[in-house]
Structure 1
């Protein structure tokens, strides 16, 4: 596949199976951009890792008759670098990607002002609303 075909194919995977979010890090004082794809096809997640880096985790099934699931994850700058590559090809998750990219571009080392914290929280809430299931 050519690079443009890989990016278009990957954007389709993100639109259909992917998740773009801004998560609280475990210390709860900071946040991170995360892109993830969860699927029962291990090959798909390993292929994404080979193409774009990141990590693949295995989720053991809760029920005996369920298949194991695999999750490919990119975080922080790697996630937003990836999103900038696939952004021209995204449809359903385009707004998610744009918010995540804008959020990460504002990130700088050092103490955050109250205004910056408010913008970060607004982006986190907005992307959470976009990710909400149901009506």
Structure 2
């Protein structure tokens, strides 16, 4: 492989039905299913996140799912409990949502259904949109955010 490094891409693990249901409960209760931008000029991407003050729970998510990342949140007062966030993005997030979708019970189930049905079709890998594609994606994003609690 003449000087090229081999990327070690993580894959989302196949979850047992029990783990999928548990993680769906965490997403419904303390998580988000959203379309976010990393930077102002970027296109929106799928993000699933779960925040909690229990670091072992966040570690469980990392281990069970096999992809994503955990970050700590800054505390500004000694009275505040340190909290942590697990986040998974893009196609990894879609892989996770595919597995937990049957167990979601809140408005996040409807958002997940919309994402799984249309996100890949409306998101070219090169990020270049035709005018018609851009308009269809804009309508998709509007419909996604119209699904509220």
TM-score of the superposition, structure 2-length normalised? 0.79
> In the TM superposition, what is the alpha-carbon distance from 1:131 to its structure 2 partner?
4.8
Aligned match of 1:47 in 44, 51, 60?
60
- Greater C-alpha Rg: 2
Alignment of 1:109 with 2:109, yes or no, is no
How many residues matched? 131
Q: After TM superposition, where is structure 1 displaced by more than 6 Å over at least 4 residues in a row?
A: none
> In the TM superposition, what is the alpha-carbon distance from 1:100 to its structure 2 partner?
2.3
Q: Label 1:63 to 1:129 Cα distance change in 2 as closer, same or farther (>3 A).
A: farther
Structural RMSD (CA)? 1.9
Unaligned runs of 5+ in 2: 1-14
Query: Are 1:37 and 1:71, in contact at CA under 8 Å, matched by a contact in 2?
Result: yes
TM-score of the superposition, structure 1-length normalised? 0.86
Q: Label 1:25 to 1:45 Cα distance change in 2 as closer, same or farther (>3 A).
A: same
The structure richer in helix per residue is: 1
Query: Are 1:36 and 1:73, in contact at CA under 8 Å, matched by a contact in 2?
Result: yes
Give the match for residue 69 of structure 1.
Answer: 83
| Greater RCO (CA < 8 Å, at least 6 residues apart) | 1
